[in-house]
Chain A
Amino acid sequence: MGRPLSAEEVGSRLRARFGDDVEVADTFGQVAATVTVDRYHDLVRFLRDEPELACDFCDFTGGVDLGPDGGFEVVTQLTSTEHHHDVRVKVRLPSTEPACPTISDLFPTCDWHERETMEMFGIRFEGHPHPVKLLLAEPFEGFPLRKDFPLMSREVKPWPGVPEGEEVEDDE
């Protein structure tokens, strides 16, 4: 029977093993561990193999675009089916040439999640066995979920909400 660990306990175990490479925060009761790129794979392996953490179920792997100043972030949620606690792992990546090691060798489900993150954000996952597009059609250019990707239909079609002769108010 498992024992769910609190955020401080998870944090102390991670800090003991990884030192300054990881920052653990308690976000609304959820543990979020922000780790550097080169320790990402080791951290996920530690979370999976350590008996008191035993995070054996990968919920999802996704990406976040934090804008031109923030870069990208890869977020992975790992859950322990034995202890019933979850850990969210975040990796900060630079805005240009974002690259991150793959965890699909540890969790096979991340294969498809990383393919989707690759095609939507342009983040390269090193060591991925099959880095082809998952959801987008093959000749698609660009990375749709980036903040600077324009929706072409909204560019091409004029907004019908403006009376003729009036200027569009620019709220942004």
Chain B
Amino acid sequence: METQLHGGFGQGLVKGLSVTLRTMLHRSVTVQYPHVRPDLPARSRGVIALKQENCTVCYKCSRECPDWCIYIDAHKETHEPAGGGRARSAKILDRFAIDYALCMYCGICVEACPFDALFWSREFDYAEYDIHELTHEKERLEEWTYTVLPPPPLEVGAEAPEEASA
């Protein structure tokens, strides 16, 4: 450490305090959560939302989940069509629950779903007091679909998706 030989008495003190003053007057980078929510990208893995009308109860997400944390209950119902003919059967979803205590947010269920019923949402603040309350049912999962953002635009030079050209 060099000592100040010129400049007079107290020069080091003035220099140090000037650094402090500059830092004090500088705008801080703190994001004031909870008053200001962070601006997260659309692809953030915050929570998984379920759109029930797209779900055909194929059980693919539940099978592919490595943590076994998706619980599905369903039953079949048959409807006679009004104009006569063969009775149609449909699967009705009774229960779709994701245990967010176990979930590791890998996204395999979102990718495996062939009917686009599961979406990533960027909500992250759903901490609970009791671990059993972290298993969320389909009603809560449906609420989160309203927070799902549209996918980000494709990069320049990317191929257009098939649906767009059809």
Chain A contact residues, CB within 8 Å of chain B: 157, 159-164
Contact = CB atoms under 8 A, between A and B. Distances in A.
A161 B59 CA distance: 6
B91 to A, nearest CB: 9
B74 A160 contact: no
Contacts of A161: 59, 62-65, 68
A157 B66 CA distance: 13
B74 A159 contact: no
A162 B71 CA distance: 10
B73 interface: yes
Given A160-B65, A160-B68, A164-B73, 14 more contacts: A157-B68, A160-B62, A160-B69, A160-B70, A160-B71, A161-B62, A161-B63, A161-B65, A161-B68, A162-B59, A163-B57, A163-B59, A163-B72, A163-B74
Contacts of A157: 68
Nearest to A157: B68
Interface of B: 57, 59, 62-65, 68-74
Contacts of B68: 157, 159-161
**Interface class of chain B by DSSP:** mixed
Nearest to A154: B68
B74 to A, nearest CB: 7
7 contacts: A160-B68, A160-B70, A160-B71, A161-B62, A161-B63, A161-B64, A164-B73
Contacts of B57: 163
Contacts of A163: 57, 59, 72, 74
A161 B67 CA distance: 11
B139 to A, nearest CB: 19
Nearest to B75: A164
Nearest to B69: A160
Contacts of B71: 160
Nearest to A153: B68
Contacts of B69: 160
Nearest to A165: B75
Contacts of B65: 160-161
Interface centre among A159, A161, A162 (most CB of B within 10 A): A161
A106 B18 CA distance: 60
A164 B62 CA distance: 13
A48 to B, nearest CB: 43
B113 to A, nearest CB: 13
Contacts of B64: 161
Which residue of B57, B62, B71, B74 has the most chain A CB atoms within 10 A of its CB atom? B62
